[in-house]
Structure 1
Amino acid sequence: MNKTIDIQAAVAIAAAEALAAKTQGTFGVGGVLLDGFGNVLQSMHNNVVLGGLVLDPTAHGERQLIDWYFAQVAAGAALPPPQELTLVTSLDPCCMCTGAILAAGFNVVVAAPDGNAGINYDNQASFTALPAPLRVRAGSSFCYPAVRGATPYARAASGAPPKSFFIGKSINEATQALCTLVFESMVTQVMQLLHAGDESPACDPATLPHDHAVVRALRQRYPDALTYRGAPHAPGAGLAPFLLAAMAQDRRNGGAGEAAALLDSFGNLLLCLPGQQALSIIRTPFMECTRQYAQLRHELMVGKDSAQQEECKRYLGHPKHGTFVLSGGLDDSAASFMTLGAYGSTMEGALPENNPAQFQYVRPGMAHSDLLALCQALPPLYSKLIQIQPRQVADQALIAALA
């Protein structure tokens, strides 16, 4: 087992992972998980893109490290509790990863800033993008070490103090610059890839024969796929039995009894899933739903020629043209903040003008005005570009069915 008791050395490991991500053609971000003695437990990098195709919009390094930890614990590994661990990341965590970190209870050391999507986007370490109950927790667990030097990459330390096992407590200017530049070098390329050919699906998958590859792949992940069809972007009471069944399964899977559904632009139900929180506390229903859809599309397109890939896109478009529906609305918890961030990572750009109600919920988790205020306080990617504005479904019968 490798060991590092120097923040600079730990950030260098994260930077090496970021370089590996760049080589893979995805966002250049990496991280490493350390125990309370500086032992390296695992390191990972961003895997949003694999083989030139979107694999998983939630596959950020931090989220993957957290899921790795809980998978190990679920398998019986004797690992320390999260509050004794430190996740060192090459880039300021996005809202999804911040929510995941706070929900899990890890400590964080951050190298490079991210003024677009990072939780410390304003470099004040005040975490005003977070709901008020989470700001103190972030302030006591998110560490922004000093960067030594005289260039614009240099900075004073802020946030929480580094854990006591770190003897060296600062970052070299060159390493900080590397973390920044590796990320910036990939942003435009990956964003173009994420939005290439992401127009609304032209063909209705409900018209396909039951043995078509698209239908088989959908029903392998969700046997009831394509068995419900409502008005486009207006989920109705017919969705209730599917949500209720997934909610019951979510309780059996260690969750609080929630579910997330994805309907396409024709109103077809593609997925309606519970979480897997017995395996990892951050595998909530929305995380499972958006990941499963992206991985399904990747499975259908990887290794195929361009004509076959285009056929898949004609039936299974970018989810921004459909509708995500949560059984329960968002609140001020870390898990809900993770969901907001994961939704942003799934959209990664402005919503279509004809689909402003892309993100809906049935039962409210907080007053709608408070939810909108929370969304407006998010970092620029979420509040200015995507303009996240979840709204309650309009169908009163659906609301009553889940009351």
Structure 2
Amino acid sequence: MALKKTIDVQAAVAIAAAEAIAAKTQGTFGVGGLMLDQHGNVLQSLHNNVIKQGLIFDPTAHGERQLIDWYYAERAKGRDLPPPADITIVTTLDPCCMCSGAILAGGFNVVVAAPDREAGIDHDVSAGFGALPPALRAQAASTFSYPAILGASPYARAASGATPKSFFIGKTISEPTQALCALVFEATSDEVMRLFQTDPPVEQLLDPAMLAPDHPIARTLKQVYPDALTYRCAPLAPDAGLAPFLLRAMARDREHGGDGDAVALLDSFGNLLLCMPGRMAQSGIRSAFMEATRAYAQLRYKLMAGATPERQLEVRRYLGHPKDGTLVFARGPDAGAVSFMNLGAYGSTMEGPLPPDNPRQFQYVLPAIAQQELDAICAAMPPLYSDIIRIHPTQVADRALIDALTRG
């Protein structure tokens, strides 16, 4: 079957905009994108899939992230695809921190239509990429393109960032198309953000450790992670008892091509719900955190999709929003692209302020960089992450847990 081809930025953005409209129809963030090879062939086009059937399906299912995982999956099947340096992702909205980290980790190029002043990597529209760790800024400046919007309306802009690849004959975007990209996202953003705030408050949550083993929630949880509910600590305070679970997942992470990371999710009662390794050999962006947050969201989605409102509420009360529990990373973030992706994906999982009584929701055991450097990276992130969510990874307090992973 012949591939669709476009050698014009405007035409490529129009395809992405059609995907964004499809996303709006689905009830998710109105963002779309496509992937082009070095000749302008459309390899794949798709849209945001964070929300399905009015429920959170996958907080990491942004268009760019999905395109990159699709690329790696196709290559794993034996498809002859160009290297990432010869691939261009065209997106209707400035990539968030998760997608920017994924793009940079893979080495892809990107063409951007509309700005995102809350979460976009170029939120200040300077193309200076000050939201990135310093070591990543030059790479972004050479691969992220913001084509000119010709005209006199508020949507007009001069070109900035990298020049789009040479196969693009036309290198500008029309005002109506760019406006469509911006407005479709704006039309969906508030409603989707509301869906992230529909879980019961922490005082209404129920302890899943009290469920009978054959209860559908407990049974499905165990299918995803057989060791679920076999460890419990004081709420929000992981201790050395978590070490064996992290160490086993770290070993699997190495087997799967990672550097030995793992991420555990504890609920508000201190129960272990998940402890996941990454799958970096399958895709260079399938980190332990991406696997963990996706697995938990899709577990809840599986239990709630098509269920009665009463059943959905029961699931939400036993399997609460991660913000009320604790995420424990075996390895703390560093200044690289995958860690920046993880920080952004954490923001996409929270999608709103952390509870005031749970400021240490994001904990790590083994530091990769000094806490001061990590704090500076988080403070420089776009407003959604730095001012609203206030991402602040901190090291676990339990010395015995740190010692156990250090020895392991």
C-alpha displacement of 1:344: 0.3
* Alpha-carbon separation, structure 2, partners of 1:27 and 1:227: 37
Is 1:302 the counterpart of 2:311 in the alignment?
Answer: no
Whether 1:352 aligns to 2:355 is: yes
Distance 2:366 2:310 in 1: 42
Tell whether 2:224 aligns with 1:221.
yes
CA deviation profile, 1:188-229 (whole Å, cap 9, x unmatched): 111111111342252100011111111111111111000000
Could you tell me how far apart the structure 1 residues matched to 2:75 and 2:388 are?
38
Aligned to 2:251: 248
| 1:397 equivalent in structure 2 | 400
CA drift at 1:254: 1.1
Q: Provide the C-alpha distance between the structure 1 equivalents of 2:80 and 2:201, rounded to a whole number of angstroms.
A: 47
Cα distance in 2 for residues equivalent to 1:221 and 1:305: 23
1:96 aligns with 2:71: no
Other-structure match for 2:197: 195
Change in CA separation of 1:109 and 1:198 when aligned onto 2, cut-off 3 Å? farther
Q: Distance in 1 between matches of 2:162 and 2:263?
A: 35
Answer yes or no: is 1:362 the counterpart of 2:346.
Answer: no
Q: CA RMSD in A?
A: 0.6
Q: CA deviation at 1:279?
A: 1.1
1:313 aligns with 2:319: no
Aligned residue among 285, 290, 307 for 1:287: 290
Task: Kindly tell me the number of residue pairs found equivalent between the two proteins.
Answer: 403
Say yes or no: does 1:159 pair with 2:161. Answer: yes
Matched, 1:75 2:80: no
Q: Percent identity?
A: 66
1:115-167: per-residue Cα shift (whole Å, max 9, x none)? 00000000000000100100000000000000111100000000000100000
Structure 2 equivalent of residue 231 of structure 1? 234
Q: Distance in 2 between matches of 1:76 and 1:222?
A: 30
Match 2:59 to one of 57, 60, 72: 57
Contact 1:253 1:277 (C-alpha < 8 Å) held by counterparts:
yes
1:78: Cα distance to partner?
0.7
Q: Distance in 2 between matches of 1:248 and 1:192?
A: 38
Q: Matched residues in 2 for 1:76 and 1:250: separation?
A: 23
Query: Would you say the 8 A contact 1:273–1:288 is kept in 2?
Result: yes
Letter in 1 for 2:64: E
For residue 382 of structure 1, give the secondary structure of its aligned residue in structure 2: helix
Name the structure 1 match of 2:126.
124
Structure 2 runs not aligned, ≥5 long: none
Q: 1:362 & 1:105 partners in 2: Cα distance? A: 29
The Cα of 1:7 is off from its aligned counterpart by 0.2
Report the counterpart of residue 206 of structure 1 in structure 2.
Answer: 209
Residue 328 of structure 2: aligned partner: 325
Change (3 A) 1:158 1:198: farther
CA distance in 1: counterparts of 2:73 and 2:395, whole angstroms: 34
Return 5+ residue gaps in structure 1 as ranges.
none
Q: Does 1:381 align with 2:384?
A: yes
For residues 153 and 133 of structure 2, the distance between their equivalents in structure 1, rounded to whole angstroms, comes to 34
C-alpha distance 312-131 of structure 1, shift in aligned 2 (>3 A): same
Within 2, Cα distance between the matches of 1:193 and 1:217?
23
Q: Distance in 1 between matches of 2:289 and 2:244?
A: 18
Q: Cα–Cα, structure 1 residues 198 and 161, in superposed 2: closer, same or farther, change >3 Å?
A: farther
Could you say what secondary structure the match of 1:366 adopts?
coil
Q: Name the CA distance, whole Å, in 2 between partners of 1:212 and 1:167.
A: 60
Please give the alpha-carbon distance, in whole angstroms, between the structure 1 residues aligned to 2:27 and 2:347. Answer: 20
Matched, 1:29 2:66: no
| CA–CA separation in structure 2 for the residues paired with 1:216 and 1:279 | 28
Q: What is residue 17 of structure 2 aligned with on the other side?
A: 15
Asked if 1:44 corresponds to 2:46, the answer is yes
Give the letter for the 1:63 counterpart.
Answer: R
Equivalent residues of 1:199, 1:318 under 8 A apart: no
Aligned to 1:278: 281
4+ residue segments displaced more than 2 Å = 197-201
Q: Which residue number corresponds to residue 187 of structure 2?
A: 185
- For residue 146 of structure 2, what is the aligned residue in structure 1? 144
- TM-score of the two chains, using structure 2 as the length reference: 0.98
Distance in structure 1 (CA, Å) of the matches to 2:150 and 2:176: 9
Aligned partners of 2:200 and 2:317 also within 8 Å: no
Mapped partners of 1:81, 1:271: distance in 2: 34
Report SS of the residue matched to 1:220.
Answer: helix
Measure the CA separation in 1 of the matches of 2:371 and 2:217.
37
Do 2:38 and 2:87's aligned partners in 1 also have CA atoms closer than 8 Å? yes
CA distance in 1: counterparts of 2:290 and 2:168, whole angstroms: 33
For residues 310-346 of structure 1, what are the alpha-carbon distances to aligned partners after superposition, in whole Å with 9 as ceiling and x for unaligned?
A: 1101100111001000000001000000000000000
